[in-house]
Amino acid sequence: MQARGQEIWTGIVPAVGSAYGGGFFAGQISTAGNGIADYNLVVGPVATAQSSFVWKNVTTATAGADSDVNGTQNTADMVADGNSTVYPCAHFCNDLSTGGQTDWYMPSKNELEICYFNLKPLTTSNDTSSGINPNAVPARASNYTSGNPAQTSATNFRNTGAEDFATNAYWSSTEFSATDSRIQNFYYGVQSYTSKGDSNRVRAIRRVAV
């Protein structure tokens, strides 16, 4: 029986937005921040892996859930700290079983940014005060320009496509403070934070070691 999260890596990088790993290939990440990919990121199907919740139903700090790159650990910290009433987003992702996989989690700030960069749904200009991501592959040391990233080449992730991200804010699993957590806006790419008690979309991802 295949162990949770265990897959065979072929060494061939899939096309962005193509079916892969129980969902769709979203890009690669370097957890060490050295430009060398160690994981492929997989976005879950919109029909089963996306919903809207508050991040946390009380505005208190969550020990450990502040990594910019390790969404698996952030999610585990939230799940360990409280039940699905306290942490509906984290439990939704953690408990998800879809595409034949069960190791889904809530993306960290930099993992979610890679999803925006590669799967941007619109042709709108980007927020030029956001976009630095040392964990992207290749790493990005500068913010977005108005035209980079451009709308994704994956037609199923373009606006009104079957798998597109909504043109609104999505929660990351990265806590900003006791009261706020990080978000990524998929309309124009702004990276910010908002109250944990706000209702925003969340979309589960998983990763495959390379």
Distance CA 186, CA 183 (A): 10
Mean pLDDT, range 53-64, rounded to an integer: 97
Burial tier of 6 (Cβ tally within 10 Å: 0-12, 13-18, 19+): exposed
Q: 11 or 117: whose pLDDT is higher?
A: 117
pLDDT at 35: 95
Beta-carbon contacts of 136 under 8 Å, excluding residues fewer than 6 positions away, are 27, 29, 30, 110, 113, 114, 117
Q: What share of the chain is helix, strand, coil (3-state, %, to 5)?
A: 15, 25, 60
Percent of all residues in the chain with a pLDDT value above 70, rounded to a whole number = 96
Angstrom CA distances, 120 to 114, 127, 153, 163, 195, stand at 10, 13, 9, 11, 24
Residue 36 pLDDT: 96
Where residue 9 falls among pLDDT bands split at 50, 70, 90?
low
Residue 8: its pLDDT value, please?
A: 66
pTM for the structure as a whole: 0.95
For residue 4, the model assigns a pLDDT of: 46
The mean pLDDT of the chain is 95
Q: What are 136-179's pLDDT values in tens digits?
A: 999 999 999 999 999 999 999 999 999 999 999 999 999 999 99
Which of 8-22, 26-40, 87-101, 107-121 is predicted least confidently?
8-22
Which CA distances in Å does 151 have to 26, 39, 105, 179, 198? 14, 23, 25, 33, 27
pLDDT at 3: 39
Helices (H) and strands (E) in the chain — how many of each?
4, 9
Average pLDDT (45-72) is 97
Question: Mean pLDDT throughout 108-116?
Answer: 98
